[in-house]
Amino acid sequence: MERSTYKITVYGTVQGVGFRPFVYTLANHFELKGSVCNTGEGVEIVLYASKEELKRFLEALQNELPPLASIDGVDVEQVALQAFDDFCIVQTKADAKKSVRIPPDVSICKACETELFDPTNRRYRYPFITCTHCGVRYCIIERLPYDRKNTSMRFFTMCKKCEAEYNNPLDRRYHAQPIGCFECGPKLELIISPKRLQKSSDEVIDHALKLLLEGKIIALKGVGGYHLMCDATNEAAVMRLRERKNRPTKPFAVMVRDLAMAKELAEISQKEKELLTSKERPVVIVKMKKKLSGIAPDISYIGLFLPYTPLHLLLLDAIKRPLVATSANISNEPICTNIEELEKLQDVYDAVVDHDRVIVNGCDDSVAMVVQEQTIMLRRARGYAPASVELPFKVKKNTLAMGANQKNTIAIAFEDQAILSPHIGDLNTIDSLAYYQNNIDTLRRIYDFSPQIIAHDKHPNYESTKVAKEFVATSEELKTKTVQHHYAHILGVMAEKKIQGKVFGVAFDGTGYGDDGRLWGGEFMVCDYSGYERVAHLKYFKLLGGEKAIKEPRRAALSLLFDLFGEETLSLQTPTTASFTQTELRTHYLAWQKNLNAPQSSSMGRLFDAVSSLLGVLQVMSFEGESGMLLEELYDKSVKEHYLFEVEEEAINTLPMIEALLKEKNTKTAVSKFFNTIVEMVANIYAPYDDLPLVFSGGVFQNRVLLNLLLSRFPKALIANTIPPNDGGIALGQVVACI
Ligand SMILES: [Zn+2]
Ligand SMILES: [Zn+2]
C-alpha cells in the first residue's frame, strides 16, 4: 500500500472544544501516524496515509465530531513525505491570521452534572466544575489562540491532579482551559457589605440559601455578569426587588431547577423544551400556567431558563423553588461584571455570592421565543455570541459594523464570515458607551482584526454614528458606509438566509432615520444587496415632543386625534385626552400646528403605542415594548373583521382605522380588528410583488400575536432565527450593505 503525507486544514469551531484529542483518538483508531495542532486559522492535521485511509479518516472526522465542534471547511493537500514514529498533539502554532472561531459559553454538560452530585468524585459540589465539552469560553478570553494563558484562568496554577487531566489526550478535561478543583481553581466568596467572609463553598451556598428563603435579595456572579436573585414565589421579596431597582412592571426572568419545574409554571412545547435544555440555555418566553405574583404583572407570558453553571445548579437544587434571576445593572446600562461596578447597586441587594474568576468579556443572558415552530431571538448573547454567521458572499474588505443605538450589537466581517458581538445594549450613558468601545476593542483584539471599512446607521445623532466618524478620522485609508436603518433590518435577514436576488421587505419598527430626514418605521421596500426602493410606508404623523413620544404612547395618539379632528380634539372625551390637563392639550395643539418639536414619523411601533393609548390600555410606558405586550393580551382570535385604511400613492393612511376604532364599544374587538388590519395592509401592499420572497424585520415583529397572524397568512415569509428582529440584528445588515 502506497502512503503519502497529507496536510489537512480544518476550519470552523475547532479550538477549545476537544477537537485535537478527538483527532488523536481517531488517528489511533485507524492506526495512522502524524500530528495535529491548533493554528490561527483552525486545526492542522498532518497524516501519513494511503488514499483509502485518508478517505476513511476524513469521513469519520466529519461524522463523529465532539458536541461543541462544527466544521465549516476542510482543505487537503499532499506535502513532502515526512516520517513519524506515532501520532502526536503538538504545541499551538502562533500565527498572525486569526480567522479561527471562539466557541461561545456553554452550559454544564451531563457528565459534569453527574460528577457534581457524586460524593465519591473529587469535584463533588465544586461550583466551577467543567470539561472540554462545557463551561465558560468567550467570557474569559483575552486573545486568541484559546489557551489558558490567554484567558483569565491564567491567574490559577493547576494542581498536580488537574494538570495530569489537562495533559492527558484521553481525558475529558484534556486542554479544558477553565479546568480547576477545590485545591487550585476559582473559589466562592460571600460578601455582606462591607465584610468579605472567608467561608467554604458549601457554607457560602447554604448562607445564600438561607437569605433567599428569608426573602432577601442576593447578587450572584455568573458567567458574563452578575444576576440579582430572589425567591420568585415570595411576592414581598419580588416587590422589594421591584421597588429597590425602580422597575415597577417590567417582567423578570425566572430560573427553574429543571424542565419539570418549568412545566409546573408554564406550557412548554417540544420546540420550547429543546431551547430550554439546549447547551445555550437562553431565557425562553413561554405561556404561564401558574401565576407567580409580581413576576410579570398583566402579562400572561413568563421568561424561564434552566441553570447553566454548576453554581446555579447547586443553588437551585438546594432551594427547590423558582428564583428571579435578572441581570444586575442600572436601568439601560450594561451588565455589571466586577464588584466595583456591582457596588453601585448596593442598595438593591442584601448579599453577594462572588468568586475570583475574572469576567473578561461581559455577556447578558440570551432571550428567545418560539412562534409557529420558529425560534425568534429577542436578545442574542450568552451561549450564542460570538458565534459567526456565514455570509452569502465574500466581503471585499474587512468590515466593522457599528450597529444601531438601541439594543446595540456590533459585527466584524472578513472573507465570508461575520462575527457578531453579544447584546451590548442602549448607548445612552457614559458607561454604556465605554462598554460599547470595549466590545469593539475586544473583537478587534481577539481576532487581530483591522477594519478597512466602517458601516454605520444613517442617523447623524446616534452615538454609534459618532463613534464611527471619530474612528474614520484616525486613518486616511478607512472608508465609511452609511446604511439606512430599515434597509439594514431587511438585509440582516437576507444575509442570515443567504438570499440572492430581490426580496420584498416589510420593516415594522420603532423609529429609524429615513432618507428624507424623517423618522421611518412602517416601511415596505424592494431590496437587494445593492440598494432598495421604498414602495410604501405608513402616512407620516407627528411625534409630539420628539423623543418623549417614545415613552408616552398618548403623544402619538394625540397627534393622530389632531390629524382627524383638529382643534375639536381639545373637547373630546377619550382616554388619551383625559390623560392630559387642558393646558397641556393646548400646548400640544400649538406644537402640532406649528411643527414645534414634532418630527414626522411613519413608525409602526408608534402606531401600536397610539392604539394602546386611544383604547385606554396604556398612556405612559414603564418599559420599552409595554404597549405591544398589553395589546397582545387583548387579542381575540374569534374576531375576523378588520378596519379600513386608504392607500394614497405610497402612503398608507390609517386615519379611517383610527376613527372607526374610537367608535368601537369593546376594547378586545378594537384591538383584534387593529391587528387584523395590519395583516390586511401587508397583504394589500405585497400583492403586486408576490413573486418576490417576503421578508419581515424590525422590533414590532417581537409582537407574538402580529408575527403569528402574519406567518399564518404568509407561511413562506422569512423572519430571522439567528439574529433578533429588533435593532440587535442591524449590524449584520450593515455588514452586507458593504459589498
Ligand atoms: Zn462538562
Ligand atoms: Zn486542581
Domain limits of the chain?
4-89, 188-368, 386-479, 538-689
More confident residue, 175 or 403: 403
Distance from residue 156's CA to the centre of ligand 2 (Å): 9
Looking at the predicted structure, is the pLDDT value of residue 95 above 60?
Answer: no
CATH topology assigned to domain 538-689: Nucleotidyltransferase; domain 5 (3.30.420)
Ligand lying closest to the C-alpha of residue 126 = 2
DSSP state string for 654-691 = -HHHHHHHHH-S-HHHHHHHHHHHHHHHHHHHHGGGTT
Instruction: Using a CB cutoff of 5 Å, list residues around ligand 2, an ion.
Output: 159, 162, 181, 183-184
Distance from residue 442's CA to the centre of ligand 2 (Å): 29
In tens, the pLDDT along 261-284 reads 999 999 999 999 999 999 999 999
Identify the DSSP state of 91.
Answer: P
Cα distances (Å, whole numbers) of residue 241 to 290, 307, 312, 324:
21, 21, 19, 9
Q: How confident is the model at residue 422 (pLDDT cuts 50, 70, 90)?
A: very high
Distance from residue 157's CA to the centre of ligand 2 (Å): 8
Count the neighbouring beta carbons within 10 Å of the beta carbon of residue 373: 9
Cα distances (Å, whole numbers) of residue 162 to 59, 171, 179, 219:
33, 11, 7, 30
Q: What is the mean pLDDT of residues 388-397?
A: 91
Distance from residue 160's CA to the centre of ligand 2 (Å): 7
Distance from residue 312's CA to the centre of ligand 1 (Å): 15
CA distance 428 to 423: 15
Ligand lying closest to the C-alpha of residue 185 = 2
Distance from residue 148's CA to the centre of ligand 2 (Å): 14
155: enclosing H helix or E strand:
none
In tens, the pLDDT along 490-506 reads 999 999 999 999 999 99
Ligand lying closest to the C-alpha of residue 171 = 1
Determine the 3-state secondary structure of 264 from DSSP.
helix
Residue 79 near residue 5 (C-beta atoms within 8 A): yes
> Would you state the cell numbers that stand for residue 152, as one nine-digit string?
483569565
| Chain mean pLDDT for the chain | 94
Distance from residue 202's CA to the centre of ligand 2 (Å): 18
Q: What is the mean pLDDT of residues 242-251?
A: 94
CATH topology assigned to domain 4-89: Alpha-Beta Plaits (3.30.70)
Distance from residue 445's CA to the centre of ligand 2 (Å): 30
Ligand lying closest to the C-alpha of residue 173 = 1
Distance from residue 110's CA to the centre of ligand 1 (Å): 7
Q: How confident is the model at residue 569 (pLDDT cuts 50, 70, 90)?
A: very high
Query: Which of 86, 92, 109, 124 shows the shortest CA–CA distance to 173?
Result: 109
Determine the 3-state secondary structure of 420 from DSSP.
strand
Ligand lying closest to the C-alpha of residue 159 = 2
In the chain, pLDDT over 70 holds for what percent of residues?
Answer: 99
Distance from residue 168's CA to the centre of ligand 2 (Å): 14
Distance from residue 125's CA to the centre of ligand 2 (Å): 14
Q: How confident is the model at residue 94 (pLDDT cuts 50, 70, 90)?
A: low
Distance from residue 627's CA to the centre of ligand 1 (Å): 42
Polymer length of the chain: 739
Instruction: State the CATH architecture for 386-479.
Output: 2-Layer Sandwich (3.30)
Distance from residue 33's CA to the centre of ligand 2 (Å): 32
Q: Does the bond joining 186 to the residue before it have cis omega, within 30 degrees of 0?
A: no
CA distance 462 to 512: 10
In tens, the pLDDT along 584-632 reads 999 999 999 999 999 999 999 999 999 999 999 999 999 999 999 999 9
CA distance 672 to 524: 23
Distance from residue 111's CA to the centre of ligand 1 (Å): 6
More confident residue, 84 or 489: 489
pLDDT for the residue numbered 2: 86
Residue 538 near residue 607 (C-beta atoms within 8 A): yes
Distance from residue 677's CA to the centre of ligand 1 (Å): 51
Q: How confident is the model at residue 93 (pLDDT cuts 50, 70, 90)?
A: low
Distance from residue 424's CA to the centre of ligand 1 (Å): 28
Ligand lying closest to the C-alpha of residue 180 = 2
Ligand lying closest to the C-alpha of residue 176 = 1
DSSP state string for 13-35 = E-SSSSHHHHHHHHHHHTT-EEE
Q: How confident is the model at residue 96 (pLDDT cuts 50, 70, 90)?
A: very low
Domains 386-479 and 538-689 in one fold? yes
In tens, the pLDDT along 211-232 reads 999 999 999 999 999 999 999 9
Ligand lying closest to the C-alpha of residue 160 = 2
Cell match 491532579: residue? Answer: 161
pLDDT for the residue numbered 97: 47
Distance from residue 321's CA to the centre of ligand 1 (Å): 25
Whole-structure pTM value: 0.92
In tens, the pLDDT along 630-654 reads 999 999 999 999 999 999 989 999 9
93: enclosing H helix or E strand:
none
Distance from residue 181's CA to the centre of ligand 2 (Å): 4
Determine the 3-state secondary structure of 277 from DSSP.
helix
In tens, the pLDDT along 8-21 reads 999 888 887 888 88
Determine the 3-state secondary structure of 478 from DSSP.
coil
Residue 735 near residue 418 (C-beta atoms within 8 A): yes
In 437-502, the DSSP E strands lie at: 453-457, 479-483
Distance from residue 262's CA to the centre of ligand 1 (Å): 23
Residue 522 near residue 486 (C-beta atoms within 8 A): no
CA distance 118 to 408: 42
Ligand lying closest to the C-alpha of residue 107 = 1
Cell match 513525505: residue? Answer: 81
**Phi, psi for residue 617 in degrees, rounded to 5:** -80, -45
Determine the 3-state secondary structure of 640 from DSSP.
coil
Distance from residue 39's CA to the centre of ligand 2 (Å): 27
Distance from residue 131's CA to the centre of ligand 1 (Å): 4
CATH topology assigned to domain 188-368: DHBP synthase (3.90.870)
CA distance 468 to 455: 8
Distance from residue 112's CA to the centre of ligand 2 (Å): 15
Cα distances (Å, whole numbers) of residue 195 to 191, 206, 218, 354:
6, 17, 15, 12
What SS3 string covers 520-554? EEEEEEEEECCEEEEEEEECCEECCCCCHHHHCHH
Ligand lying closest to the C-alpha of residue 109 = 1
Q: Does the bond joining 194 to the residue before it have cis omega, within 30 degrees of 0?
A: yes
DSSP state string for 103-138 = ---BPPPHHHHHHHT-TTSTTTT-TT---TTSB--G
Distance from residue 198's CA to the centre of ligand 2 (Å): 20
**Phi, psi for residue 535 in degrees, rounded to 5:** -95, -20
Q: What is the mean pLDDT of residues 458-467?
A: 92
Distance from residue 152's CA to the centre of ligand 2 (Å): 16
